[in-house]
Chains A and B, each alone.
Chain A
Amino acid sequence: MKRVLTYVVPAAAAVIVVTIAALEGACNNVGTCPTTDITAGDKCSGDNLQCPYTLQTPSPACDGTMVEGGIATSCICTDETWVCPDPISCDTGDGGGDETATDDGAADAGDDGAGDTGADATID
């Protein structure tokens, strides 16, 4: 009886408590994709939830046209914020976004203006 009281009961109680506490926190926040279109930077819920996203972007040919229908890609919920790929930037020397699943959400929102858009002037 002493063995039961001093060893088994506390152990059983600990198992039950840990089980309840762990089950409360054990469930993974899988999340659900929104029914409306995602907007980059909006709030989201779900650990690393990845949802379809149509990227409206200039054509890679940079001919002034847009990719018809957009590019089918995806956004990932990172730190409760939708992180989505950047459109292709046609500014010289400045690339567009190349989001991957491991991106921490610090990607540029667009052109930062670092490149010249006009021809360089040379002075003879």
Chain B
Amino acid sequence: MRPNRGFQLLFAALVGVATYFLLLPEAGAVPSFSRKYQTSCQTCHTVYPALNPFGEAFRRDGYRFPSKDGSLDSDYEKAAAVELGQEQYKKLFPAAVWPDKILQAMPLSMWLNGSVAVNIPGSEAQAAAGNTFTWGGIEGEMHFFGAGAFNDNLTYMSQLTIDTEGGVDIETAYLLWNDIVGPAHLFNLWVGRLFAPQLTSYGLHSSYLGDTLMPGVSAGALYNPAATFVLGQGHNDGIELNGIAGHRFNYSLGWLASSNSSGLSMPNAEDVYAHVGFKIGGMSLDGEGAGASPKNAEKPWEETSIGLDVFGYHGITRLDNGTGATPTQQDDRFDALGGMIHAQVAGLVAVAGLQVEHHNRPYAGSPATPNPTGGVFNGVPNLASATAIVQYDELEYIIWPWFVPGVRAEYTHADVDGGPSAQLFRIIPGIALLPRPNIRVILSGDIEWARNLPPAGGWDGAGGMVAPTTAGQGLLQAEQITATVGVGF
């Protein structure tokens, strides 16, 4: 389709937005960990929140600097602290409370983010939005982070998010009890509202072009719009035991709260998972041992490595199956298996993942019908099972640490009881830019192909918008060009 003049002008406006940020004076402010260690964001990140190999090791070590020549995390801490008890109390324990410390200044940081999109004329995106372009959404969320350490083994991470509708959400709030016993990094216990269940060895947001590295696909939502659970997306209440062995192997075992639709009670906590992974080459998983330092100090993001992760997840989600006048409970038990390969050669990064998710009872039922004498007759539940397969890939090249072009692809396959299966394929080309260490802009496109619609009636659960109307016939459509902006301080 030939782009019209209006589209060209809007695209030029987006380029202008990016240029504006490039010309901004240096912001002069840094997030929680930057304040703690008095270091730049680039110590751990490329285009944040994507982590470089050192940043991944820092995260896996429980938000602590890897040890070098027997060093402790506190050896690198430069922010002033307030001692909570004397060092001598350790000798008096259990007759005294074990001492600790907090930072003198509240370890807060803020991140503002939002996005604006050009909805391609004639696309479903434009039909849904009712416009081609609006500045609405340029400021979507405000995040407050509080993170740090109470001692060399006990750290914390918290995140409060406020959206433009006034919603306030404690997204993350957990304690990380590291190195409980035995060799360093082997046994760690993280408790609270976890940042994310570790189903891979990489951070939740370690993607340049997607919001998350694992796709934000809700398999349940492909069958029932009331479903919200997304595998590996985090912000779950629970507990995780994890560790790194031999610098190159890692594992995690978790037990989390299960999920429920609005208006229904929460089921017993039945979500559990297990993950194992290993990495060959490059920086070691804990940033220690033989692979502790990058080969090129001038390009610390570069390495040659390959990593493999596999995981299993079992859970239950309490759904409203839509058969009643009020939320009607249908417990959907599910199991998932998946894996991911992460490979890197110098600045070229390639990721490929696959996950299969089988749901016991994800479908919505038939709606209630009026009872002539008052009230309704509940509808009929659909207790069929379903399986969804999601495959994703991402390829990018870190030309410079502030300029990373790439492409991401996501494929979702949903089987349909008594009917043909449905497929969605998304291509997301883009460029991740870092005009300043704490300001990022991501320009990305969204091209979608789909054949059939899933039982829920749309591809929202898989982040898709394309809506083929002819059964069995695929539809290819360019949906949007999006600029995602973030500022941290």
Given contacts A95-B373, A95-B374, contact A74 B268 (CB under 8 A): no
Q: Cβ of A22 and Cβ of B324 under 8 Å apart? A: no
Give the bracket for the number of chain B residues in contact with chain A. Answer: 35 or more
Within the assembled complex, what's the spacing in Å between the Cα atoms of A52 and B316? 22
In the complex, A99 has a CB within 8 A of chain B: yes
Residues of chain A within 8 A (CB-CB) of B361 are 30
The interface on chain A, measured as residues whose beta carbon lies within 8 A of the other chain's beta carbons, has a size of: 40
Give the A-B pair count, Cβ closer than 8 A: 112
Within the assembled complex, what's the spacing in Å between the Cα atoms of A85 and B377? 7
Q: Is the interface of B mostly helix, strand, loop or mixed?
A: loop
Q: Cβ of A50 and Cβ of B268 under 8 Å apart? A: no
Residues of chain B within 8 A (CB-CB) of A7 are 93-94, 98
Distance of B108 from chain A, by nearest CB (Å): 30
Within the assembled complex, what's the spacing in Å between the Cα atoms of A74 and B378? 6
Residues 92-114 of A, flagged 1 when their CB comes within 8 A of B and 0 if not, give: 00011111111000000000000
Given contacts A26-B268, A33-B383, contact A96 B373 (CB under 8 A): yes
Please tell me which stretch of B3-11, B43-51, B364-372, B404-412 contacts chain A, meaning at least 4 of its Cβ atoms lie within 8 angstroms of it.
B364-372
Which of A15, A48, A51, A74 counts the most chain B CB atoms within 10 A?
A74
Q: Cβ of A100 and Cβ of B380 under 8 Å apart? A: no
In the complex, A41 has a CB within 8 A of chain B: no
Residues of chain B within 8 A (CB-CB) of A26 are 268-270
Residues 44-82 of A, flagged 1 when their CB comes within 8 A of B and 0 if not, give: 000110111001000010000000000111101000000
Residues 283-310 of B, flagged 1 when their CB comes within 8 A of A and 0 if not, give: 0000000000000000000000000000
Q: Cβ of B93 and Cβ of A28 under 8 Å apart? A: no
Please tell me which stretch of B72-80, B131-139, B327-335, B438-446 contacts chain A, meaning at least 4 of its Cβ atoms lie within 8 angstroms of it.
B327-335
Q: Cβ of A71 and Cβ of B180 under 8 Å apart? A: no
Q: Is the interface of A mostly helix, strand, loop or mixed?
A: mixed
In the complex, A118 has a CB within 8 A of chain B: no
Closest to A84 in B: B378
Within the assembled complex, what's the spacing in Å between the Cα atoms of A8 and B360? 39
In the complex, B183 has a CB within 8 A of chain A: no
Residues of chain A within 8 A (CB-CB) of B94 are 6-7
Q: Cβ of B381 and Cβ of A88 under 8 Å apart? A: no
Q: Cβ of B383 and Cβ of A85 under 8 Å apart? A: no
B interface, CB within 8 angstroms of A: 90, 93-94, 98, 180-181, 189, 239, 255, 258, 267-270, 272, 316, 321, 323-331, 333, 360-361, 365-366, 369, 371-381, 383
Q: Cβ of B181 and Cβ of A28 under 8 Å apart? A: no
Q: Can you identify 29 A-B contacts, CB atoms within 8 angstroms? A: A3-B93, A6-B93, A7-B94, A12-B180, A15-B189, A22-B269, A28-B258, A28-B268, A28-B333, A47-B331, A50-B323, A50-B381, A51-B383, A52-B381, A72-B379, A73-B378, A73-B379, A85-B371, A85-B378, A88-B373, A95-B373, A97-B371, A98-B374, A98-B376, A99-B377, A100-B328, A101-B323, A102-B324, A102-B326
In the complex, A119 has a CB within 8 A of chain B: no
